[in-house]
Structure formats: C-alpha cells, structure tokens
Structure 1
Amino acid sequence: MPEQLPSAIAESDSSPQVPKPEELVARSIAPVRKEFLRPLPPRKSSSAAGEDGSAVKESGESAENLNGAGLVKEKKKSKRQMKRERQQEKKSALNICPEIAKSGDVSSCPYGSKCRFSHDLEAFKAQKPDDLEGECPFTGTEDWCPFGLACRFYGTHKEGVSMAAGAHRKMISEINALNKDLQKLLWKNKVKFPNADAQLKALGLMNHGNKSMKKMLETGEHKEPLSGAAEENGNKPDVPEDLTEKQSAVIEDERVADDAVACEDRPPKKAKNEPEMVTSFNIDNGITVPKEDSECYDAMDSQVKNGDMALETAGSLKLHPRERKLIDLRDKLYLAPLTTVGNLPFRRVCKGLGADVTCGEMAMGTNLLQGQASEWALLRRHSSEDLFGVQICGAFPDTVSRIVELIDRECSVDFIDINMGCPINIVVNKGAGSALLTKPMRMKSIIQAATGTVDTPITVKVRTGYFEGKNRIDSLVSDIGSWGASALTIHGRTRQQRYSKLADWDYIYQCARKAPDTLQVLGNGDIFSHLDWDKHKSNCPKLSSSMIARGALIKPWIFTEIKEQRLWDITSAERLNIMKDYVRFGLEHWGSDRKGVETTRHFLLEWLSYTHRYIPVGLLEVIPQQMNWRPPSFFGRDDLETLMASDSAADWIRISEMLLGKVPDGFTFAPKHKSNAYDRAENG
C-alpha cells in the first residue's frame, strides 16, 4: 500500500529500499522529511475487538470511523421528521423568543401565547451555558447585539447602545437578503418577468414543441414540468414553510447539495382566486414599489402577449456588445464558487488574503423562484466583496432567464455565472450541470435567453466535456462568445473524470486560443502555488486568468503567495489567527446565540476537513506541494501544527473548541463529503 512507504523511510537511513523523494513524487506521495514522519501503527487483523468488546472491521477509514470518537455515520432523517423536531425544539427553553431576548421583558412579544418560541425567561437563564471567551462580534464602539440575552457573549455587552446603531451596521455589511414581501409573492407565483418572457418569445422558444413552456409564455406563470413518476401519480408540489424567525435561524439550514437539487423539478404552488400583481423591490432599503406604480410592467406584459413587441424585442433587449455592462477578469485572482465551504465568512477570509473576485455557492434556479430562504442565503454579499458574482444552475432557458431577471432586479451583483459543469448525479439527471454539455442547442438557448434578458454580464462555467476522451468545448468556444457570454471558465476535466486525474491544461490553452477577443477564457484545476499560476499565464497569454478552488480550501493564503510571488512557510499560530478571523466572521453572519455558534462550528469543521491536507513548506524535501500528492502521517514543528495535520475528526473538534468553546453533549460531526471530501470541493 502507498501509505506504508513513509514508514519504510523511518525504519533505516541506510536501507537500500528507502524510496528517494523523486520516487515518492512519481507515486504522488508527498516527500516529507524523514525526521517528521510519524510511524504507522502495526497492522491489525481483519477484525479486532473494540474496547467494549464489540467487533470492528478493518477498513481504510480514519480512526474515528473505527472507534466512534467524533466521526459517526448518522441515519438520514426524513424532511417531515426534521420539520417536526425543529417545531418541537422551538418551544423548548433553549429557544427563547427573540423579542424577549432583546428586551428582557416577557410582555414585549407581540404574538403573546401564539408565539412559536418559548417565553419562559427564567428557564432559559437556568439552562443557558456559560459565556464564551472573547467579545461579542456586535458590541463594538457603536454597535448593538441583535441577540440580547441569547448571545453567548452577553457579559461583554455595553450599556446605553441604541438598537439603531446595530441595525445600521448590519444593513451596510451584508446585502442581497430575501425580502419577506417578495418571498410571499414568489410562493404565490405572482411575480412577473416581462423581460424574460419577451426574450423567450423573440427567440422563438415557444414554438419548439415544448407545450409547458408555450403555456408558461402565454399565461405569464412559471411552472417547471413534474418528473415522470410524480406526474403519473398526480403528486402536488409542497408549499414552502413559512419562515418568519430571526435571520440566524434562516441561514442555519444551509442547504446540502443533494437536498437542494431534489427540488429542481418541483413547481411553485399557484395561488387560487387571487388577482395577478406585479411588484418590484429594493433589497438594500426594503422599499416596495406599489401596484399602481407598476402599470408600465402590466402594459409591457400586455404588449408581449398581444405580439406588439415582437418587432422591437431584438433591438430593445438584445443589447449591442458596446452597450452591455463590462466585467474585466483579466489577471485577477478568482475564488471559485465552492459547495458548503464557499460561504460568506470564508469568502471574507479569502478577500483579506488577496482574492480579487468572489462568487457565491451554486444556487438552484427553481429553488430561488420558489422563494426558498436557504437558497437565497447563497446570494448574500458582504460589503468587502467589491467584485462579486452569483452562480446559478438550471436545465431550461425559461428557468434561467427568469432567475437572472429576478437577481438583476433585486440583488446587487457584478456578474451572474451559469453552471454547466456540475458533475453531481442528481443535478445531471435533471438535465442541468454537465448534462448540458451533451445538448449544445440547449446551451445556446439558455445563454441567449439569459444575456438577452439583462445587461448584467453573464459568464459560463463548463467542463471539457461529458465523456472521458471526448472533449468538445473547443468546438463551442467561438459560439459561446457569439451567444453573448462575457467570460467562460473551463475546468480541465470531463464530467466522467470528476477529480480522478490532473486537469488537462493543454486543452484549456487550445480552447483559449480559439476564443474570440470578446470572450474572456479562464482555466480551472490544480492550482496550488504561485508557480502553477505563473506557469499557466506564461504558457498561454490568451488565457485571461485562472480560477482557484481546492487550493484555496486547503490554504487560503495562496492568494497572498501569488501576489507576493513567494512560498509562505506559514506558522501554526498564523494559521490559527486565520481561523479566528473565520470564526468572528461566522458569528457576525450566522449569529452569536447558541444556534449561530453551532452553525459557525459546523462550517468551521467542514473547512478543517480540507485544511489538514496542507503540508508546511519547511517539512517538504521537494517544493512546492502538488494538488495530487497524498500527505503521509507526520509530526509538525510544534503541537499545534501536529494537531492541524491530523485527519481525525476528533482533532478537528478539539480545534473548534479552542475557538468556540466546548461542544454540546452528544455532539457528533460527519463531513458532508465524507471520504471523498478532497475530490468534491467544486460545483463544476
């Protein structure tokens, strides 16, 4: 087994069988200096008895899988069971009413006995754990903590600070929140999309035999077709849960990729016996445009239905390239959209370390159109993100065009990226992600519909192809530019390869050379040092830039290395300071109450499931570290560095306790991507 090679090095310096560093590199094993290698434990038999006498089968998993210390496999609960448990938990003493927590007065809740939260203030105080060390992230000079008594740093709160100061701080730091009025209209399917409908009609998509799309364009209502099984059984779509609790609870349920895309083919429920209305919102200040001020939308929609706009649509919606908004990604350090870990606090960390461009996690288009709060949370933007985009995924041009119009109208973004490379099965099976690589005409209609609907720059992210050995983007790159895309990011692997082989950068160069001058082409895959960045830049000057994904997850200071053109032999204390910044950003984003602290801990642990793969520069015999190297078990130069190098979930939990206090009783953690975490970092 390759994992046994490092132990052979530690046995004898004079042994002729000791592999040289070059041999280890050829086998994709990191050449760690001998004095830092950790001897492997003796091999156990096929089954060994645990401490409690139970038999444990041997496998290639970490120790936590064997002894249950930290990493466990949990039985998946149904959505109905999880909803019931959440409702029961809200009434427990753990969840005090937010209004009562802010004021400390039981009579301050406007809902009284109908409130979904507990009003037992004394019981809440009795069970509340001790405050955490450090200061509340909201109690600065002029700030106010929105969690009051529920804050885990309540002892550091200052007296006499007004609520207005804290509200002002929250408003200017994060934008693109989902307006509650807009959410209700999305639930009732009462938001119109005049630009998208007009563009779809101009492209003639309603005449392509898609009856559901034709009906949608004629009636003005959005309705994705049900899957075959659901349609045959007559299943009706569910109404999204009424989410009116505080912001920290909304963001707490960050969607898992599989759960998010499971709703891809579920249409929003149409309200009965209610008049149609058109509204427009300003998310930044919460102002709603009244119905009487929306007559222009009604008139425009009427013209579209009557065919009066058919002749001028191409000129009014399909802007000339010189009239469109421009985005310049050339030579900029681009942090890729990353599943789970690419949240707002992590992006803030990367911005502080030198990233120029940031992009939110992939959001499913139909979930956004249904007003799902957890999906809209992926569009949130921090004020420090000066060049920010969102990534969406959809299988049909009507879905994509409508969501880009909605985002352009309600959010502040610099570009919208369409994912056409996600390899996840449940996404591909819906016809989205990498599945679009097999349907170039569908790609064309989606890109044209999106770019013709809004003037916000539209970018596209793809893989080299669907099947291994059958690359096809080189034949489409010129067309993608003519369809209206501003930039194209090419991940140098096929969908079938996933992450099993090194990225094919020669093919990326080939595509970049074929691209028109109006289309910026970016490469993606295996960038792990400034040397990798420089190599791709010099090998193909036509390449506009490169996107950094897993390299940023493992060592976010890669942006600093590229800008300063050095290999940073970062110390364990410096790495811990970066984690402290992440925790502070997480508490500001998810909240400083109990739920916010544990949500921050969860995402910190997800991130630690990647960072342990970093090997300090001072420990390597050959530098720089490559993405495909397997790190052997090794000691660090101090105890903290050794702890950070552990692949044990129990050790990750120990690090989280250093930053967020002791974990609750019965706490367990299983990485979202589990054993394949290293290979499933990116969406596409």
Structure 2
Amino acid sequence: MDESPAELVVDAVKLSTQPPLSNGSQPTPEELAAKAIAPVKKEFLRPPPPRLSSTSTGLQNNTGSQTKVVSAKEKKSKRQLKRERHQEQKSTRSICPLIAKTGDVSSCPYNDSCRFSHDLQGFKDQKPADLEGECPFVNAEEPCPYGLACRFSGTHKDGVLAGGSDARKKNFEVNGLNKDIQRLLWKNKMSFPKADAKLKALGLLVKAKSKIKVLENEKVDETVTSACHVTDGNGCSEANGVPDTKLDGVAGTIESHEQPLKKQKSVIDENCSSAEANTGDVTSMEKLIGVSNTQTEPEASTDIIPPEADRSMKLNPREKKLIDFRDKLYLAPLTTVGNLPFRRVCKVLGADVTCGEMAMCTNLLQGQASEWALLRRHSSEDLFGVQICGAYPDTVARVIELIDQECTVDFIDINMGCPIDIVVDKGAGSALLNKPMRIKSIMEAASGTVDKPITLKVRTGFFEGKNRIDSLITELGNWGASAVTIHGRSRQQRYSKLANWDYIYQCARKAPAVLPVLGNGDVLSYLDWNRHKADCPELATCMIARGALIKPWIFTEIKEQRHWDISSGERLNILKDFVRVGLEHWGSDMKGVETTRRFLLEWLSYTCRYIPVGLLDVVPQQLNWRPPSFSGRDDLETLMASDSAADWIRISEMLLGKVPDGFTFAAKHKSNAYDRAENG
C-alpha cells in the first residue's frame, strides 16, 4: 500500500536528520530522490507542522490557522441555497446593475419588480472600502461597467477614458452564447442540418424511441471490441469493456435532439460575468489572429447537404486544414484551474497552443451559460481549441456544428480519457475506450459535420495493464482525427504512478505519418521535454498539464532551455497578473472579486508544490516528489510553500483585500494528495 503524503514528509525529515547508516554515511540526495522524496538542502529543512486528522474537511475560516470542521449533516439543500440566493439579491449588497452603473435610481425600467435592490444609499452605507490599485477597466473604451459597485470606484474618471479604443482592439473576449440561440436550446427547437445529414448518411440518425438501430450498433461494437483485444505480458487477453451503465440500457440508449432534454446540473461550473462579444468583436478577432471562419452566418444552401451527396461533397479527413502541433508548447485543458485568465498568464509566459476546459455536450445543448463560459476565448490566444465530452455520435456532432456556427476556434478536441466517475457513468470520457465502434461513429460523425480539425485526447486504456490505443492508432486517422493526444495512464490508474512514456512512444511509432501523436504526463522541466522529444522523434510534441499548474513559467524554461530559479517576488507578480486579468474576466464588483479569489485559491493549491531550484540538491524537481517541510529564502517564499489553505487565503488577501466574514475554502482538487489530483 502506498504511503500517504504526510507519512512521506515525516520520512523525509527523519532521513535528513537521522544518525549515519550502517555503512557510516548519511542518505544521499540521490537516495532521497529514489524514494520520491525531494532532496531539499539541509539548511532549509524544518520539522513538519502538526497535521489534521483525515476526518477534517480542511475548510479554513478568516481567523487564520483555525480550521472549521463541517460535517455532512451541515450541508445545505439546493432549495435552501436557492432561497438564500434570492434573499441575497434583495439585500442592499446586491444593487441593481443599471442603478450602479448610472447612479440614478430611476434608470431601471423594472422599478419595483426588479429582482435586485434599488436602495442606493443603503448600498453605499454598507459597501466596503475600495481595494488598493486601479480599476481593471481603466483602459476600456467605455466607463467601468460596474459603476458604483466596482471595488475600485474611487479611481473612476468622468466620461470616456482616454486611450481606450486601441487597448480594446488588442484585449477582448469572444465566443459568447447568443441569447436567441440560447432560447432555442432551452426550448429544444434548435436545428442541426449539417449534423443530422451526416448522421443520416452514416445510419446513426434514429429517433429516441426507436432503439433497434442503436442496439444493433452495440452488438457490432461488442464484436469489434473482442477483435481488438490486446494481449498483456502474462498472455491474458483484455476483458470485454466495463459493465453497461444506465445510459446503455433500453431506457436511455441515445441522447437525441428529437427527445426533450432534461435539465441537468452542470458538471463543471464557472461563473463568467463578461459581456457577450458582438459581431464587430468577432470580425476583429478574425483579422487579429488570422482565423478563417466563413461559416459565422452560413447560407441555407450550404447548411443542408443531401445524405446521398454527403460522402462525395465532404472533405476527406486528410484534405482538411491541419494544425502543425510539432514542437509547439501546448497547455492542456485543465478542469477548474485552466480558466481564461490562467491561460492568458500562460500565453505571456510562452505557451503556443491553448485549449478551453472540458465542456459536457449535454449541458451545451441545453444552453447552460456556465458551460458555454468554458468556450470563451481571449484575443491573445492565437491558436485556440475547445474540448468537449459526449457519449453518443448525435450529441457530439450537433454540439460541433453549434460551436462551428457560434464560436471562433481553430480546432475542436474530443475528450475520451476523462476518468471522473460522473463522466464515465454516463458512457463518456474513458468509458469510450471499451467501445471502439462507438469511437468510430463519434469521430466519423464529428469530422464529417465541420471542416475544422477534430482532435482526440485519450488514455492508454480503461484497465491497468490492458492498454488499448495501440490497436486503434492506425484507424483513428481514417475515422477523422487530425491529431491524437495520449495521456500515459489508464483510467483505473487515474493520476497515480508515473506516466508510461514507453507506451506513448510505441503508439507514436505505429501511427501513420499523417496523424500527429502528442504525449502527456509528468512534464515539469525542459529536460523532461527534451528527453521525450529525443527518445521518440515521431512524437509531435508534449502536452503540459499539472506542470503548468505548479509552475506556469515552464513554458519560458523550455523556450530558453534553462532552469529558472524564480524569486518569490517574481512569482507574486505572476499572481498579480492573474488577479488583474481575472477581474477583467469575472468583474470588478464584489461578486467578481470573490470569484477571482476562489479561482486564485484553487491555483494556489497547486503552486505550493513548487520547490525553488536554489533549495534543491538535485535539479530538476520531479512531479512525483513529495517535498519535506522546508523554509524558503524569505518569508514570502516560505508562505508560498505552505500546503495550508489558511496560508493560501493570506496570499489572496495580499492581492484582493480581506476575505468576507464567514469565508471558507476547500480546494476541489487536493494538490497535496499527489496520487489523487484531478488534473493532468
């Protein structure tokens, strides 16, 4: 059984301070590294702080290091949370946005029926003092959209601020969901002519109540699954998939547009208060980044393609516009932390390719604003893709047509490697690795619907020791994939152990020359990057995930081929940049400030794992190293190395002021539990 992180930290201190071994020598840094314990120089080691029992939830309040333990019984119901939100909206803290912007109580057309407060004086009386710094919209063409509600309202100037137009052209967001389209999605009245034509041509367009065709496909699926078995080292063939989930049964075999969609809660939530991009923004975006998007307003004649003509009119996957991923620095799509402000920070530090967080197809088709917020793109992201996750060809194809019509993207990535239970139980993510014919149907439907490159992200297989992708890699290109990213772990393995790069190399060498293969897993330094590229020239590039969360300057290190012994002050400046662009994205009012704080704290739960280069006896740091308790070269560096949420909150208060009364925080992805991290 693997040791816990706490046990490994204690072991590290013991190994560093214990008497000489039987051979008369202290454990060497190399011996510590071999035990996956970071070899920190002795002068920086310190005794580990007291740790809480495993029954604690780790919620920290604003009294400092005191920990508030919350039991499951104290959790609030959805109805109670909804009631509290409505009460909050009517309180003086939630002033009507129109009144806050104009300062005139009569500016709201809804008067007493408005769901927000109109007590302007009451809002002013309870509003906390302004934060230090200037309004993030100081360079905007228009005055701050939050007006009196802005936490930097004291820095506002009268009228239109100077120098705004040029700044706005270089700094804006696109891919907002049109309200008319959203209403059609809500009412289940959106049409998908391209997707439906392709689905019909492939024999995949069936009504939800007609299960015969789908069940026949499932039988074929099982036949091919047995034909694609991989023999492991013991001579045992791979088992047939996983037990069917509730979505694979007769009651829910296919998610079809022809059946009303049931409202579901979004798997991944992200609030985004940025204004929707208008047509002019989209046009400027295309001119700025050179993206060809002539399908923004497609004509009816090009929308509907007769099924019989579909095969001859559609481009062959190899004739599509391809993206050259070779040697480009690719920031992986990262749940929760890979938001737009974080991607902007990584772009400044050298990332070449960025991709939005994984969005669920069913939620996109329901018009959920929180899910569509994951597709937003900043003007600095010159090579940008979105990642979607779905279980069936019809939902995936329709979402891809919708994205192609409403969004400006360079490629669309389909996630078939997500290991999270709530995704796998719906038949999506890693569950598809056991259904090769389902993969084929999804890829053919998706690639045949749009002309944009369709890429694929997978894991080595579903079960540990029973890899699957090598048996499919020669076909993925024929099915329509423009590139394939392989995460070198199985679904069963989640994020434990090291990534299997030898298997990634095997797949890259076996893949056709026209299908780029990207590797993913455990890249934390430029030496890791160089080694993988040197060991397998057929590998197009390496996707960087948790390495970018721990130290986003890894992109700079790779481009400059050096270990950057970054100072605590330089790291703080990176956090300041994140806060600045976060306030632009989520808003500078109280809600926007606290949303920015939440995502900053989520990120700090990863950055605390970074060990400064100057403190190590062996360089570079490896992703699986457990750091002992150590002191930094200054107080700020020590604070940044803490794995306590209370210390993360202290850092946030340095940038965003004091937290509100009763503030609590628990990281969604506990970065100190190295074998259970949810990103990578």
Q: What aligned pairs does 1:335-484 form with structure 2 within 5 A after superposition?
A: 335-484=331-480
* Aligned match for 1:284, one of 266, 282, 285: 282
SS at match of 1:211: coil
Deviates more, 1:159-168 or 1:525-534: 159-168
**Paired positions, count:** 615
Q: Answer yes or no: is the 8 Å Cα contact 1:174–1:383 preserved in 2.
A: yes
TM-superposed CA distance for 1:282, in Å, is 9.3
Q: Using the alignment, how far apart are the partners of 1:213 and 1:581 within structure 2?
A: 55
Rate the CA distance shift 1:42–1:374 in 2: closer, same or farther, 3 A: closer
Rate the CA distance shift 1:664–1:471 in 2: closer, same or farther, 3 A: same
Residue by residue, what CA displacement relative to the aligned partner does 1:448-497 show, whole Å, maximum 9, x if unpaired? Answer: 00000000100000000000000010010010011111000000000000
Rate the CA distance shift 1:402–1:163 in 2: closer, same or farther, 3 A: farther
TM-superposed CA distance for 1:60, in Å, is 9.5
Rate the CA distance shift 1:436–1:517 in 2: closer, same or farther, 3 A: same
SS at match of 1:662: coil
Q: Using the alignment, how far apart are the partners of 1:479 and 1:128 within structure 2?
A: 61
Q: What aligned pairs does 1:56-95 form with structure 2 within 5 A after superposition?
A: 69=66, 72-73=69-70, 75-95=74-94
Q: Which amino acid aligns with 2:643?
A: D
Q: Answer yes or no: is the 8 Å Cα contact 1:336–1:682 preserved in 2.
A: no
* Aligned match for 2:596, one of 578, 595, 600: 600
Q: What aligned pairs does 1:557-636 form with structure 2 within 5 A after superposition?
A: 557-636=553-632
Structure 1 regions of 5+ residues with no counterpart? 44-55, 216-224, 242-247, 254-279, 287-292
Aligned to 1:296: 300
Q: Answer yes or no: is the 8 Å Cα contact 2:13–2:628 preserved in 1.
A: no
SS at match of 2:282: coil
Note if 1:251 corresponds to 2:272: yes
Rate the CA distance shift 1:198–1:646 in 2: closer, same or farther, 3 A: same
Q: Using the alignment, how far apart are the partners of 2:393 and 2:126 within structure 1?
A: 52
Aligned to 2:191: 192
Rate the CA distance shift 1:363–1:21 in 2: closer, same or farther, 3 A: same
Q: Using the alignment, how far apart are the partners of 1:652 and 1:513 within structure 2?
A: 44
Rate the CA distance shift 1:67–1:352 in 2: closer, same or farther, 3 A: closer
Q: Which amino acid aligns with 1:359?
A: C
Q: Which amino acid aligns with 2:282?
A: D
Rate the CA distance shift 1:681–1:12 in 2: closer, same or farther, 3 A: closer
Q: Answer yes or no: is the 8 Å Cα contact 1:206–1:214 preserved in 2.
A: no
Q: Using the alignment, how far apart are the partners of 2:480 and 2:401 within structure 1?
A: 16
Aligned to 1:98: 97
TM-superposed CA distance for 1:140, in Å, is 2.5
Q: Using the alignment, how far apart are the partners of 1:403 and 1:213 within structure 2?
A: 24
Q: Answer yes or no: is the 8 Å Cα contact 2:457–2:486 preserved in 1.
A: yes
Q: Using the alignment, how far apart are the partners of 1:491 and 1:249 within structure 2?
A: 25
Aligned to 2:220: none
Q: Which gives a bigger RCO, structure 1 or 2 (Cα 8 Å, sep 6+)?
A: 2
SS at match of 1:360: strand
Rate the CA distance shift 1:669–1:250 in 2: closer, same or farther, 3 A: closer
Aligned to 2:309: 312
Q: Using the alignment, how far apart are the partners of 2:56 and 2:87 within structure 1?
A: 39
TM-superposed CA distance for 1:321, in Å, is 4.0
SS at match of 2:38: coil
Q: What aligned pairs does 1:71-150 form with structure 2 within 5 A after superposition?
A: 72-73=69-70, 75-140=74-139, 142-150=141-149
Rate the CA distance shift 1:315–1:164 in 2: closer, same or farther, 3 A: farther
Q: Using the alignment, how far apart are the partners of 1:595 and 1:475 within structure 2?
A: 50
Q: Which amino acid aligns with 2:496?
A: S
TM-superposed CA distance for 1:2, in Å, is 2.8
Deviates more, 1:172-181 or 1:200-209: 200-209
Aligned to 1:555: 551
TM-superposed CA distance for 1:7, in Å, is 2.6
Rate the CA distance shift 1:188–1:60 in 2: closer, same or farther, 3 A: closer
* Aligned match for 1:7, one of 5, 10, 13: 13
Q: Using the alignment, how far apart are the partners of 1:110 and 1:678 within structure 2?
A: 53
Q: Using the alignment, how far apart are the partners of 1:199 and 1:282 within structure 2?
A: 32
Q: Which amino acid aligns with 1:296?
A: A
TM-superposed CA distance for 1:20, in Å, is 1.8
Q: Using the alignment, how far apart are the partners of 1:426 and 1:28 within structure 2?
A: 31
TM-superposed CA distance for 1:144, in Å, is 2.1
Rate the CA distance shift 1:599–1:177 in 2: closer, same or farther, 3 A: same
Q: Using the alignment, how far apart are the partners of 2:389 and 2:433 within structure 1?
A: 13
Q: Using the alignment, how far apart are the partners of 2:353 and 2:602 within structure 1?
A: 23
Note if 1:19 corresponds to 2:27: yes
Q: Which amino acid aligns with 1:22?
A: E
Q: Using the alignment, how far apart are the partners of 1:158 and 1:323 within structure 2?
A: 54
Note if 1:532 corresponds to 2:536: no
CA RMSD between the two structures = 3.4
Percent identity of paired positions between Structure 1 and Structure 2: 69
